[in-house]
Amino acid sequence: MSTNNARSGLLFIAAAVIFWGIMPVALKLTVGFVDAVNLTWFRFGAAGLMLVVFQALAGGLASFKQVTLKQWGWLALAGIMLLANYLSFMLALKYLAPGTAQLNFQTSGVFLAIGGFLVFGERLSRFQISCFMALAVGMLMFFNPYLRFDGAADGGDVLLGVLLIQLSVLCWCVSVLLQRQLAGVLSPTNILLVIYVLGAIVLLPSCDFTVWQPLDSEAWTIVIASAIATLLAYACFAQGMKSLPAGQVGAMLALTPIISFISTDILVYAGWWRDILHVDALNWLSKLGIGVIVLAVMSVQLKPKTRQRMKKTVG
């Protein structure tokens, strides 16, 4: 891998991390004026339309001719799962702050590893299992202010938000595993094209277009920005994956919750949208939990790559 390719890959993944980090903040702002169904339809529809135009101009639509009926079924299921991922994440933002939601999403590594073991027969090392255990401990540390059983309203809301995020994680991982099955047939761009267009079509009958009429210019800016960020994040991610090892990419993606926390704090301290955004009152154990979570996710990604490089050097 050349130095220039590595640098460009690093820039693309860094951009994806920033987009995914600020995404929950933008989505949190939209909760007050657009419901989850309508906003998800807009995000899917806008991203799908942009991809259709791009692929048509680039001549990338011809590869759909080789897709079999069974593979179309896998594509449809991947689209439904990603749609459920978006909807459940949006619903969770009613109960969780953006940074908390993004941090809770870090369990995706565990789900993906288990899915890889069940579907592709990939081996789980003892080191990976220990990292997953550390991740669970970090989660308990972060949510320690809410781990009580006295029926408090805030604790119940947080628990509901956490469960919705875990549902979102599960749906996302199923979609990713299905997309991996199709990687040899279609490009990542064409796979996302089908998923976004299908999602927009499925949601269309449930949409209420009257919710868009009272939106002012500020609200429209946030909605459009969230749709563009959705597409740019995945585009940067796909481009970066071509130039960087998967382990390094996974380690960088573990930083997305930090971006969410920082961007939320900046907006709150600047006095913007204080009626919607709030800074999490984290105690020292919660802050330590953030460090444990990020370290566990980065370790499980980087350690196998380090061992591979050592073996190559010794060999």
The pLDDT of residue 149 is 44
The pLDDT of residue 2 is 59
Q: Give the count of domains, the chain.
A: 1
The pLDDT of residue 156 is 67
- Its domain, for residue 279, covers 3-314
The pLDDT of residue 150 is 46
The pLDDT of residue 314 is 40
The pLDDT of residue 267 is 79
Average pLDDT, the chain: 79
pTM above 0.85, yes or no: no
Residue ranges, the chain, pLDDT below 70:
1-4, 120, 122, 124, 145-156, 241-251, 274, 278-282, 300-315
Burial category of 154 from C-beta neighbours within 10 Å (exposed 0-12, middle 13-18, buried 19 and up): exposed
